[in-house]
Chain A
Amino acid sequence: MPIANHHSSVPVIVDEDKCIADKGCTVCIDVCPLDVLWINEDTGKAHMKYDECWYCMPCEADCPTDAVTVNIPYLLR
């Protein structure tokens, strides 16, 4: 059975100007209970790789540079 990719709008936004993941910070990635934040290999910054969010907020609360914003997933808004 072949597989297609489908797009989805993700709830967590990372401000790439503020994010210091390229300097070695992994705080948001570490605290995410669903492990959906990863380093974007093109930019070196954190991003939401999988749309599997509990909008629980440790990533935003623990970010040392206030780079992360958690929105409500579109289906719930």
Chain B
Amino acid sequence: MQINDIPVIETDVLVIGGGTAGPMAAVTAKEQDPSLNVMLLEKANVKRSGAISMGMDGLNNAVVPGHATPEQYVKEITIANDGIVHQPALMAYATRSFPMIEKLDSWGVHFQKDETGDYDMKKVHHLGTYVLPMPEGHNVKKILYRRLRRNRVQIENRFTATRLLKDPDGKIAGMIGVNTRTAEPIIIRAKAVIMATGAAGRLGLPTSGYLFGTYENPANNGDGHAMAYHAGADLANLECFQVNPLLKDYNGPACAYVTGPLGGFTANAFGERFIECDYWSGQMMLEFFKELESGTGPVFLKLDHLAEETIQEIETVLHTNERPTRGRFHEGRDVNYRQRMVEMHISEVGFCSGHSASGVWTDETGATTVPGLYCAGDMASVAHNYMLGAFVYGQICGESAVEFVKSRSEPKLDEDFITRELERIQAPMKRVDGIPPEQMEYKVRRLVNDYLQPPKVTKKMEIGLERILAVREDVPNLCARDPHELLRAMEVQSIIDCAEMAARASLYRTESRWGLYHYRVDFPDQDDSEWFYHSRLFKDDSGQMASGKRPIADYLVPLGEEKDAYRKMRVQKAANG
């Protein structure tokens, strides 16, 4: 079959995004049914793509028998996320977490073990013990790549998806996209689609002003969020922004999971501890923000009290894993962990369920509200998912998609829709002058910082939304000189979509929740009577961006006496102190 002279590629299961969750989804689908055609499409190259491009230094939310139960984990994350969670989805993760660790272990991923051979678990969270270091975790991508080859997953690198396709009965039908080096379009018909496109990490602008100095891998710019929205899927709790504590001017995480168990901590200018627990939560970030803005700020990572051998251990992990240029950053400023504290700051805002709770709505089977469309990893709405959650939900989505495909007939393609989308893709390269994608991106992300970054103020967000919509009016003037700039031109359109979603979702929830993540100065209190709901964001029947409420599913695990534990983050000064 051909549409506009472009051959249509056929597959059973299509996975979009080859970072962490995507490869696991593709491998799982092939393990379930080797006779299926499974295609993995990646914007970069699966060998080194996504959030764990250079590996990962630990599992932040591992539920390991003998150290924690799934029930304890579900309770802790429910409390850490101010009650707004889909507990069945958390429980599915918690019960599959340990089998996934064993699977990865059998594939050759190295986790830290103690002298008896048990997993060497560390306590970082407020209540339970869930952190498993992996100091030799730099080879995760290599191991995943080997599994993809062994299971004969068909890999297509350097293609970016731009829109999902649906057939007339509303089921998923495939996708359309473009090659990032040749600008050639690609049309894929698929019976089921799994999206794993990562966070929306190019939403806010880092304080350095460098567009690509983001916390998230900047290839993760929110394409998946935008595509899911345009396909009619629900997104959930987008106002629960990701804001992370990082080193000032360097996009590496600072403290909690690596240095915390070894005695490092977050301190104020006087070297004093001010938060009780460094696990990343909105409540912790609010205390961080208050200290940063106070007379005892800014905030620092304190390691200068530790023994030489401990500092060497920390340097080995931090300077070889995840963000290995960090040592060079310190060297350039003559900063040594032994001699002084390291200045910290907060990251730009983004959507990322790995660290917070926003994303495309998915249930405990990884299903979105569009039949046949599944989402996993940082873009799906399961709270505090981190890397292990991406693996577990990649696996769950792989299984669900294979089940869906069994009874699925060949999808029909909407040729008019495809023709219009091809025009949208081709437009920026047809123009010889206009607005380059870089300028448009800088502008919309600067507006996100000025108007949407917490603390959130209603009037400011209304102005921000108006200004973001004005940038959208400029899209017909976007121009691209080559296929690479075309990639950026397609990305900036997703960034504008995400910025509008961020503004509308934040305006909709008229309360404060999740600490700093949704701290509304003019609605300072949490209001459970009105807002004990997931917020929904979706495209309504008239094509407008709409909001609504989704009830919270009955809890599987009651919260009991510990329900307010994460509200008590600030270190209390002794009465005689």
Contact = CB atoms under 8 A, between A and B. Distances in A.
A19 B473 CA distance: 45
Interface stretch (B274-282, B323-331, B390-398): B323-331
B325 to A, nearest CB: 5
A62 B484 contact: no
Interface residues of A, number: 28
Instruction: Find the residue from B53, B250, B479 having the highest chain A CB count within 10 A.
Output: B53
Interface in A22-77: 30-36, 49-50, 52-58, 61-62, 70-73, 75-77
Given A33-B217, A57-B54, A76 B329 contact: yes
Contacts of A32: 44-45, 48
Given A56-B53, A56-B323, A76 B250 contact: yes
B262 interface: no
Nearest to B432: A3
Q: Looking at chain A's contact residues, is the secondary structure mostly helix, strand, loop, or mixed?
A: loop
Interface string B170-183: 00000000001100
Q: Looking at chain B's contact residues, is the secondary structure mostly helix, strand, loop, or mixed?
A: loop
Contact of A35 (B158, B208, B217, B435): B158
B211 interface: yes
B218 interface: yes
Contacts of A56: 53-54, 217, 323, 325
B53 A72 contact: no
Nearest to B249: A76
Contact of B324 (A30, A57, A73): A57
Contact of B434 (A1, A35, A76): A1
B210 interface: yes
Contacts of A2: 433
Contacts of B180: 35
B210 A73 contact: yes
B536 to A, nearest CB: 32
B324 A50 contact: no
B411 interface: no
Contact of A50 (B48, B54, B484): B484
Given A35-B44, A72-B329, A1 B211 contact: no
B44 A34 contact: yes
13 contacts: A1-B433, A30-B45, A30-B47, A31-B47, A31-B48, A34-B219, A35-B180, A35-B484, A52-B211, A52-B212, A76-B208, A76-B249, A77-B332
Interface of B: 44-45, 47-50, 53-54, 157-158, 180-181, 208-214, 217-219, 249-250, 323-325, 328-329, 332-333, 433-436, 477, 479, 484, 487-488
